[in-house]
Chain A
Amino acid sequence: MATTTVRISSARVSSPFVARIEKISAQNLLACYQCGKCSAGCPMAAHMDILPNQIIRMAQLGMHEQLLASEAIWTCVSCMTCNTRCPKGVRIAETIEALRETRLRTGERNDCLKIGDILPGARADLPPIAMISALRKLSS
């Protein structure tokens, strides 16, 4: 990830953004103590620009723009390996879903997957279970 300068202040940590992510995900973000266990077991980590524990840290700190611009929030497939292993009971997958939904709920079409971009040949080959799950998770 490119270098970023972050100013941490109490205003950020108690911002409406942090409150919204905590509400949608039903998680207490400050429970996370950054052990890194979620990232260690994540099958998608190799394909992420920021790791799951970094996502949680950035969410604690209210790093709104960086999080919503990251690729990793779309790469997570909700396999829930992290959730079952977190020693603090943080549901990481739920938190990442809250970030995705925050992007998708802006009212603009912020879709990560556009159905028109899927080639007709691929559309015919792919089973419905793949198409429907992809569209449910990656488009609004």
Chain B
Amino acid sequence: MTKLIYYPGCTLKNHARNFDVSTVSSMGKLDVEVAEMSRWNCCGTVHCLSSDNVMNRVAPVTNLIRVKEEGGSEFMTGCAMCYNTLKRANIDVKQRADMLETINEFVYLEETKYAGEVDVLHLLEYLRDRVTFDAMGKRVVKPLAGLKVACYYGCLLVRPKEVAFDDVENPTVMEDLVSALGATPVPFPLKADCCGAYHTVGKPEIIADRTNRIMGSAAEEEADLVIVSCPLCAYNLDFRQEDAKRMNPDFQHLPVLYFTQLMALAFGCDESALRLDLHHIDPKPALAARGLV
């Protein structure tokens, strides 16, 4: 078994437990032991875009310190927002010695000083480049034949360019994964259009509009479901469908799953690794229609 240091992020430990358990179980089937860090903190969820705000880079960097303490030179997260925030903070401190020095001063109680030794990986990037989709295809015990999947990237997996591990305008890594699992990716013009993110807190009407457009585009392509890698996209596109329906009576409900849940399904993991009970729009009918549950 290969051991891979894993940073789950806060939301995978409560609202998105389905993302967490399906990651650990499906990677186990690929002989990768996903080893959660013994200590970690919230990364702050969003990268700070100001050049002079050092404070907001402290939370991500303390996680990099933890990885270094565990003897790791790299670690993985599946959450698109954590990935973006951790990776961008890492780029900042690698490029700016002054910022790194200030952060190390802020965290003077830490025994370990950080100097840019750790690399941040996203699970999709790890699957494509290290495991390879060919090898994954060989582990499929239940091919997802006939399942039509719209792959939603949102904003933070592929933007900006310095963190993107795929094309910024037309990424295909998730479609390639879906094909390896035996399912059919459908074209999805709005796949990298932002869902409205944190406006779900104060301006849910914006999210209803975004969800209506994004999920409507997937429905037009006759997708059975939409996959994501971000718990905030998942929440918005799944839980805000009621608001979208109020806004547009023709709106068609569609389930939203994490890409790791499709992996767990195709690799024959236990039902407990899927947690299909945690969805607002129940994915079981769509999966049952294809004979998958």
Say whether B198 contacts A80, CB under 8 Å: no
Q: Which of A8-16, A58-66, A122-130 contacts B (4 or more CB under 8 A)?
A: A122-130
A138–B200 Cα distance when bound, in Å, is 13
A47 surroundings in chain B (CB, below 8 A) = 203, 206, 209
B71 interface residue, CB < 8 Å from A?
no
Additional 10 contacts, C-beta under 8 A, given A26-B51, A98-B49: A77-B155, A84-B161, A94-B50, A126-B200, A126-B235, A129-B11, A129-B15, A129-B79, A129-B235, A133-B198
Q: How far is the CB of B117 from chain A (nearest CB, A)?
A: 25
| Interface bits A68-93 vs B (CB < 8 Å: 1, else 0) | 00000001011111011000000101
A131 interface residue, CB < 8 Å from B?
yes
Say whether A131 contacts B15, CB under 8 Å: no
Q: Which chain B residues (1-21) contact chain A, with CB distance < 8 Å?
A: 9-11, 14-16
For A83, give its contact among B44, B159, B169, B201 (CB under 8 Å).
B159
A136–B42 Cα distance when bound, in Å, is 12
Q: A26-B51, A43-B193, A127-B232 are in contact. Are A134 and B198 (CB under 8 A)?
A: yes
Q: How far is the CB of A110 from chain B (nearest CB, A)?
A: 15
In terms of DSSP, what is the predominant structure of the interface of chain A? helix
Q: Which of the four size classes fits the interface of chain A? A: 35 or more
Q: Which chain A residues (95-140) contact chain B, with CB distance < 8 Å?
A: 97-98, 101, 112-113, 117-118, 122, 125-134, 136-138
Closest 8 CB pairs of A and B: A79-B194, A127-B15, A97-B49, A134-B198, A79-B155, A134-B201, A133-B198, A26-B51
Write the residues of chain A forming the contact surface with B, with a CB cutoff of 8 angstroms. Answer: 23-26, 43-44, 46-47, 75, 77-81, 83-84, 91, 93-94, 97-98, 101, 112-113, 117-118, 122, 125-134, 136-138
Say whether A130 contacts B235, CB under 8 Å: yes
Say whether B11 contacts A78, CB under 8 Å: no
Say whether A101 contacts B53, CB under 8 Å: yes
